[in-house]
Amino acid sequence: MGAYEAAVKYTQQRIQFGKPIASFQMIQDLIAKMLANVTACQALMFRLEELHSEGKLLDQHASLAKAFTTQRMRETVAWAREVHGANGIIVDNNVGRLFADAEALYSYEGTFQMQNLIVAKAATGFSAFV
């Protein structure tokens, strides 16, 4: 189960002040932002698949996708951890593991900053690499 799905399920089941925390405004704000991140990443992946199928996928597309999606993933799992409260850092809770996984994916295969340099070189024609 992903961070977004885990957060929705948890907020529907966690009762505070006699009602599910999913009914609280700030929780709903976080749920909406998580869904926006998930949806944006899915849309980007669908577009990359189209480019790949057309033989038009370039390195900068992959770099842009990695930078964008891993940054959105970090936000999403952080918000999921937040809606879980203290339960979000318990080892037995899947969200804590997802949080650690997100940090690893953000750095593997080139850091966020390196991916952005690849994208910016393609956009400007100038390389910032020495």
Nearest partner of 81 among 98, 56, 66, judged by Cα: 98
Q: Which of 5, 49, 50, 109 is catalytic?
A: 109
Find the angle CA(75)-CA(81)-CA(87) to the nearest 5 degrees: 175
109 counts as catalytic: yes
Give how far Cα 117 sits from Cα of 48, 52, 74, 111, 112, Å. 19, 22, 20, 10, 9
Burial class (CB in 10 A: 0-12, 13-18, 19+), 109: exposed
DSSP 8-state class, residue 54:
T
Residues classed as catalytic: 109
